[in-house]
Each structure stands twice: as C-alpha cells, then as structure tokens.
C-alpha cells in the first residue's frame, strides 16, 4: 500500500501521533461521561485509583492485561500479513476447550508444571484449528476473512453453549460449567511478584500465564522481524503482488499466519480458565478478543507497543469495575465505548492529525522535512 | 391442509424476520457499490433502534422516532465516511470501531436516561408502527387458499414492511436507471475514470454512505418499534453481519438481495418453529444448532460453493487523486 503522507521522525510516528490519537479518544469518552451527568475528571481519578491504588488493584490490572496481550498479539500477527482477524473472540473461546479437556484429563495424575505445557499445546492447537477454516477459505476460495471469522465467532459461541450445558457438564450439577479442576489443573499465582515491590495482595487472579504472555510477545517480535517466515509474512502484507513475484506461496503464508494468530488467541484462555476460575464456564472471554483489535492498533502491531497498550486496557477494565461501584450510571459498557473510540482514532483516523503535525515539524526544521514534503501527495 | 396452514404461518414470520435484514442489506448495497465497505451496519442499526425507542418513549410519536433514528444513523454513516473517504482510513477498522461505540453508548445512555438497566420503557401501541390490515382482508379470510394467503401472508404487516419491499424496487431503479446510480456504480469500479469525467469521487461516496445511513435508520426503527416494543441491550444480535453476508450472497444486486434476506429470514423462522420438536430420521436436534445454522450456511455460501461472488473492484480502497 502506498502512503500518501510524508515521513516523520520515528519518535513522532510511533510516539507522538498515537499519543495525540489516544488523548482525543479519551476526550470524546469524557464527553459521553458528561452527557450521562457525571464529572469526567472525577471518573478518571476513580479509574486510576481503582487500577493502581493498591497491590491488589495492580494485580487485577495485570490479570486483565494478560488476556489482552495474547489477543493483541494474535490480531497483530494477522495484520502483518494484511489479514484482519476479527475472530480472536471465538478462537479464544474455543481455545478454552483445549485447556479444559487437558485439565480434566490430567489434573489428577500430573502436577501443574506438567499439565501447563500440555494445556498450552491444547489451547494453541484448538485455537489454530478454529482459525484454519477461515484461513483456508480465504486462501483457496477467496471468501472474505473478516466475514468468515465473524461468523466463526457466533458458531463458537453456540458450540460452547451446547458443550457446557450438555456433554461437559457433570451429571449432578445444574450450572453450565465443568467440574472444578484439581491442584494439577491450576496455575500458581504471581502475587509474590507484586509483593516483591512492596504492594500487598491478599488474593487476586494474577497468575503465571502473565509471564507466558510476555514470552509470547518476545517470540512474536522474533518471528516477525528476525526470521525468514516473518519476512515472508510482512512481504505478503505489504504487497501480495511482490510476494507472488518473489515466489512466496500465497495459500501457505495466509494459512500459516492465521494459524499462528489463532494459536495466540487460543492461549488467552489459559489465563481465565486455568489461572483464575479453575473450571471451564460460559462467556469467560468477555470481549477480550475484541479488545485485542484495539490493543494491536494502538501498539502499531509491534509487541513493544502491544504490551503497554494491553496494560492500558487492563487498567480500564479494572478501573472501570471500580468506577461502576462509585458511579452507578456508568457501567462496564463505558469500556466498550472507550475501546471503540480508541479503534476509531488510533486505527481508522490515524492520519487525521498527521498533516497538522507535519506542518508543525516543517515549520520548526524545514530542512529535515523539505525533501519528504515535496513528495507528499504522490500516490 | 394443515401442512399448508403451517407453511403460510412460517412464511408470514419469515417476512417479519427478514425485514431488518432487507433494510440493512439494501443499505450496505449503496455503500459497497460505491466502493466503501461497511461492516458497521450492525452498529448503525443498533444506534437507530435505540434512538427510535428513546424518542418514541418520550414523544409518543412513531414518525418522529423514525426521523430521529435516521438522523443518528446518518451521523454514524458520516463518521464512517469522514474516516474512510476524507482521511483514507481502513474501512473495516472504522466499521468495527463504530459498532463498539454504538454498543456501548446505547447501554450507557439508556441506563442514564431511563434507569431500566439499559433498556427503554415498553412502548404502547400508539407509539409503534402497528400492523395494518389491507382492504377486504377480513372479508376474504374465509375464501380457501387465496383468501387465507391474502389475510395471513400479505395483510397484517406494519407499513415499514411494505416500504422495505418498495425499497428493493426503488434501489434497483436508482442504481440501474438513473445518472446518479450509474456514477455510483462507476465510482465503486473505477474511481479514477469518474474523477477524469470531472465528478467528485468524495462527494459521490458521501452521498452513497448517506443513503446507507437512511436505510439503516429504517432497519433499526423496524426492530425497536415494529418487531419489538422498545430497545433492549444488543438487540441487533448479529443481524448487521447476516445482512452483510446476504449482500455478498446476492452479489451486490438488489433483487437477489431480497431473496437472500428472505432465505435467511426463513431459516430463522424455521429454527423457531422446529425448536424442541424431533425431526424425522435425525431425531432431536439441539437448539444451539439452529442458532448457529444461519452462520454456518453463510460460511458455506461464502466459500463459493454456490457461484463466485466478485466484489466491486475499488471496494475497500481509499481513493488517492494522482497529481
């Protein structure tokens, strides 16, 4: 894709412009708070306090962030290949099935540190499998991946409801969930990590999968920028024509990318299912798949951007929960609005403030912008 | 005879269920034919449904409510246009964003204004679009077959149902028989040629997304004021996406779009009808299967096993004027 805009210094491109977009998104969200009849500044204060006020709050914030790192990476990997994977929600939901089945089978025989790798494999395999069909249909039959992955979200939801009210439910129970996992199917908590820095955490769902998420972020960076496969993925994303000319198999690269993306989304299920709830239950994803889109856009599809973006959204989730207590007019749905605004301003309208920033830079140092600016506007 | 009566009743609910799809599908047709992908049909419908229910609850006038729904929906469409036409942003990202904004805002404002957990107050008959009985329907009811079909299937729908079917014809006429329609289709195939002819690509595309907004406003109003009596959280429940699928299935043509929407509506009606009843040979089918069936069928249709769908060539690509 050709960019009709002149180049800015890297720090402005990756720091300043996303920051401006983010500030505008929050300003508009503040207007909504004002419309509801509350004070946006007070709301922001409560959110910050709720997200970072104590060791326990920080632990919750990081617990939510863990899920968003996984889904954000999933969306980003697909973005690099020019694919838009909206199916993170469904892939994560189905990924829970992989985690659940592994835990239900092995939790009584194996210790957690042996179940964990198996559960990772299970989640990744099921998530990748769920992404495989849309990928295959895109690559072979040309059906639009955005539409098929949306459809697969709905199909995944129906399938999981069917399994959890039927085959996976223990016979003597009414609730639509599996039995509780034993010790061998539960991840150790990471509360000591926060206590190390002086916070006090009595109980929180913050668990080992956070470290796995960070590891995945590093591996994704390695994959995209330091391997041959990553180079092929980026080539396909930049110019499918050039990729074909270079002999990169389109079908192969689309399917592999989507399966990696699906595997990352599927691994998100480890965090709530194995790390917190200790059983498989309905709707444990709670929109994390969609937050991943916002995190990937804000982080500019780079792991170093996605991790902070995911922490920001973890903050909003945790702070938003506290906010709902303090201001009953503002429910958790406020997060959905903020998420939408971030996607709008950091994604679709990312170029809105670029011309203004460019002319600002040009007026400060005309020489550095001179060459680039004269080329601006060319297709 | 019993089978015939059941069939007519199922077809009758098919018509009711396919109307929101039909409005949304025709809405998407304008935008996508002009080269602007719109995945935000869902959000526009939801926002329109909320606006119409809220205005109807306050003023008690269904027509004012329709006007408000159209206004809000056009506003959302213009934001989409601003992002994807003026600022050349990614059209899919913009649509996704607007869907989230609509989903969140409707609940937050609904809770703040009406204090009923995000729903609007239940509307009385006077604030809704009610069923109208066509002339002689009561009298013709007892005539076997023809009279029953007339009474049960053709009569007794709200005015919006007839508007929807009229819009199928109107859309066909606008797209294929007017100068505006020719240019609109051209701008979706080859915007550079339209630009060379001295016609503004951006203005033409803006007009197309405004058409989309108007029709989505009708879709939302039908949901809130004709099919239901008020707004419920997330009441579109994926209908915008199904409409999009119907549009692709119809290969971006108005009359096939109508049949595609009727097909999806029929599946929905059948699912409601068959829930819990065992089928011959297969036995009892879980309810979740029927809920997933429209989506599964869409995927099969999209996979191109029934003809290949070729989108407008310039779809999804922002237009950059060469200098």
Contacts of B99 in chain A (CB under 8 A): 340
Give chain B's domain count: 1
pLDDT at B323 over 60: no
pLDDT for the residue A259: 96
Q: Do B100 and A343 touch (CB under 8 A)?
A: yes
Residues of the domain holding B106: 2-237
- Tell me the C-alpha distance between A115 and A133, whole Å: 28
Mind telling me how many Å the CA of B172 is from chain A's nearest CA? Answer: 25
pLDDT for the residue B13: 86
Please check whether residue B55 lies inside any domain of the structure: yes
Query: Cβ(A212)–Cβ(A270) under 8 Å?
Result: yes
Please check whether residue B298 lies inside any domain of the structure: no
Q: Does the CB of B323 have a partner CB in chain A at under 8 Å?
A: yes
Contacts of B118 in chain A (CB under 8 A): 331, 333
Please check whether residue B34 lies inside any domain of the structure: yes
- Tell me the C-alpha distance between A258 and A251, whole Å: 11
B80 contact partners, CB below 8 Å, separation of at least 6: B36, B38, B40, B91, B94, B95, B98, B209
Helix axes B254-274, B159-177, angle to 10 degrees: 150
CATH code: domain A55-332 is: 1.10.3470
Q: Do A336 and B118 touch (CB under 8 A)?
A: no
Compute the average pLDDT of residues B298-321: 75
Contacts of A290 in chain B (CB under 8 A): 96, 100
Q: Which of A344, A353, A375, A377 to mutate to test the interface with B (most CBs of B within 10 A)?
A: A344
Q: Do A158 and B90 touch (CB under 8 A)?
A: no
Nearest to B295 among A151, A340, A350 (CB): A151
pLDDT for the residue B276: 65
Domain-by-domain residue ranges, chain A?
A: 55-332
Contacts of B248 in chain A (CB under 8 A): 144, 147
Q: Do B94 and A377 touch (CB under 8 A)?
A: no
Q: Do A347 and B111 touch (CB under 8 A)?
A: no
Contacts of A4 in chain B (CB under 8 A): 88, 320
Nearest to B100 among A329, A340, A349 (CB): A340
Chain B segment 109-148 residues within 8 A of A by beta carbon are 109, 111-112, 118
Tokens of A228: 């041959």
Contacts of A377 in chain B (CB under 8 A): 323
3-state secondary structure chain B: CHHHHHHHHHHHHHHHHHHHHHHHHHHHHHHHHCCCCCCCHHHHHHHHHHHHHHHHHHHCCHHHHHHHHHHHHHHHHHHHHHHHHHCCCCHHHHHHHHHHHHHHHHHHHHHHHHCCCCCCCCCCHHHCCCEECCCCHHHHCCCCCHHHHHHHHHCCEEHHHHHHHHHHHHHHHHHHHCHHHHHHHHHHHCHHHHHHCCCCHHHHHHHHHHHHHHHHHHHHHHHHHHHCCCCCCCCCCCHHHHHHHHHHHCCCCHHHHHHHHHHHHHHHHHHHHHCCCCECCCECCCHHHHHHHHHHHHHHHHHHHCCCCCCCCCCCCCCCCCC
Mind telling me how many Å the CA of A200 is from chain B's nearest CA? Answer: 34
pLDDT for the residue A261: 97
Q: Do A154 and B238 touch (CB under 8 A)?
A: yes
How are beta strands B157-158 and B131-132 bridged, if at all? antiparallel
Q: Do A344 and B79 touch (CB under 8 A)?
A: yes
For chain B, give the mean pLDDT: 85
Q: Does the CB of B298 have a partner CB in chain A at under 8 Å?
A: yes
- Tell me the C-alpha distance between A177 and B40, whole Å: 33
Nearest CA in chain A to B233: A333
Please check whether residue B129 lies inside any domain of the structure: yes
- Tell me the C-alpha distance between A230 and A53, whole Å: 40
Nearest to A331 among B87, B103, B108 (CB): B108
Q: Do A32 and B90 touch (CB under 8 A)?
A: no
pLDDT bucket at B111, cuts 50 / 70 / 90:
confident
Compute the average pLDDT of residues B248-254: 86
Please check whether residue B221 lies inside any domain of the structure: yes
Please check whether residue B284 lies inside any domain of the structure: no
Contacts of B302 in chain A (CB under 8 A): 137, 141, 143-144, 147-148, 151
Q: Which of B32, B88, B104, B250 to mutate to test the interface with A (most CBs of A within 10 A)?
A: B104
Q: Which of B295, B300, B308, B316 to mutate to test the interface with A (most CBs of A within 10 A)?
A: B295
Nearest to A143 among B109, B302, B323 (CB): B302
Mind telling me how many Å the CA of A196 is from chain B's nearest CA? Answer: 38
Contacts of A148 in chain B (CB under 8 A): 299, 302
List, run by run, the mean pLDDT of 10-residue segments along chain A (379 residues).
60 80 88 86 88 87 94 95 92 95 90 92 96 92 85 92 87 84 86 78 86 96 94 92 91 95 96 90 88 88 92 89 82 84 85 82 67 42
């Amino acid at each position: 894709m050709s960019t009709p805009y002149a180049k800015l210094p890297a720090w402005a491109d990756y720091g300043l412009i996303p920051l401006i977009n983010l500030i505008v998104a929050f300003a508009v969200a503040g207007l909504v708070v004002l419309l509801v009849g509350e004070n946006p500044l007070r709301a922001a204060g409560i959110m910050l306090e709720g997200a970072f006020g104590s060791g326990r709050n920080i632990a919750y914030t990081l617990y939510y962030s863990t899920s968003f790192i996984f889904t954000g990476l999933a969306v980003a990997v697909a973005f690099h290949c020019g694919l838009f994977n909206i199916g993170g929600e469904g892939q994560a939901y189905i990924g829970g099935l992989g985690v659940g089945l592994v835990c239900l089978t092995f939790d009584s025989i194996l210790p957690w540190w042996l179940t964990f790798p198996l559960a990772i494999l299970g989640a990744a395999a099921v998530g990748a499998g769920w992404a495989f069909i849309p990928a295959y249909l895109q690559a072979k039959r040309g059906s639009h991946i955005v539409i098929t992955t949306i459809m697969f979200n709905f199909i995944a939801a129906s399938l999981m409801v069917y399994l959890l009210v039927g085959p996976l439910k223990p016979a003597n129970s009414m609730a639509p969930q599996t039995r509780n996992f034993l010790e061998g199917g539960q991840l150790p908590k990471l509360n000591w990590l926060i206590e190390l820095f002086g916070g006090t955490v009595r109980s929180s769902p913050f668990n080992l999968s956070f470290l796995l998420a960070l590891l995945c972020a590093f591996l994704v960076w390695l994959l995209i920028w330091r391997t041959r496969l990553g180079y092929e993925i980026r080539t396909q994303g930049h110019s499918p024509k050039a990729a074909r000319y270079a002999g990169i198999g389109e079908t192969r690269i689309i399917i592999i990318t989507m399966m990696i993306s699906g595997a990352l989304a599927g691994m998100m299920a480890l965090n709530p299912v194995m790390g917190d709830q200790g059983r498989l239950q309905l709707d444990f994803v709670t929109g994390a798949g969609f937050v991943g889109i916002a995190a990937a856009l804000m982080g500019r599809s780079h792991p170093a951007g996605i991790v902070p973006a995911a922490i920001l959204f973890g903050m909003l989730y945790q702070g938003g929960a506290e906010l709902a207590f303090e201001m009953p007019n503002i429910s958790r749905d406020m997060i959905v609005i903020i998420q939408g605004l971030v996607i709008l301003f950091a994604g679709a309208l990312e170029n809105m403030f670029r011309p203004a920033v460019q002319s600002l830079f040009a007026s400060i140092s005309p020489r550095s912008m001179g060459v680039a600016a004269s080329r601006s506007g060319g297709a | 005879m019993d089978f015939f009566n059941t069939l007519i009743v199922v077809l009758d609910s098919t018509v009711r269920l396919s109307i929101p799809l039909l409005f949304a599908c025709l809405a998407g047709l304008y935008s996508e034919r002009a080269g602007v992908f719109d995945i935000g049909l869902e959000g526009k419908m939801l926002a329109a449904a909320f606006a119409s229910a809220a205005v109807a609850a306050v003023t008690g006038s269904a027509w004012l409510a329709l006007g408000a729904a159209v206004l809000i929906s056009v506003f959302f469409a213009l934001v989409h246009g601003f992002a994807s036409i003026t600022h050349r942003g990614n059209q899919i990202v913009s649509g996704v964003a607007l869907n989230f904004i609509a989903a969140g805002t409707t609940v937050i404002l609904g809770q703040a204004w009406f204090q009923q957990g995000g729903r609007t107050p239940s509307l009385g008959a006077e604030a809704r679009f009610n069923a109208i009985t066509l002339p002689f329907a009561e009298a013709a009811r007892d005539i076997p077959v023809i009279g029953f079909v007339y009474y049960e299937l053709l009569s007794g729908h709200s005015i919006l149902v007839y508007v929807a079917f009229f819009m199928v014809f109107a859309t066909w006429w606008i797209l294929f028989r007017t100068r505006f329609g020719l240019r609109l289709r051209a701008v979706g195939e080859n915007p550079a040629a339209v630009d060379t002819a001295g016609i503004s690509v951006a203005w033409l595309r803006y007009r197309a997304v405004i058409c989309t907004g108007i029709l989505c406003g009708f879709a939302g109003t039908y949901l809130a004021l004709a099919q239901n009596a008020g707004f419920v959280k997330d009441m579109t429940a994926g209908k915008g996406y199904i409409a999009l699928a119907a549009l692709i299935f119809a290969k971006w043509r108005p009359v096939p779009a109508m049949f595609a929407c009727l097909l999806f509506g029929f599946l929905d009606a059948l699912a409601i009808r068959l829930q819990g009843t065992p089928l011959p040979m297969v036995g009892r089918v879980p309810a979740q299967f029927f809920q997933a069936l429209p989506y599964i069928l869409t995927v099969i249709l999209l996979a191109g096993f029934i003809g290949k769908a070729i989108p407008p060539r310039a779809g999804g690509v922002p237009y950059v004027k060469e200098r």
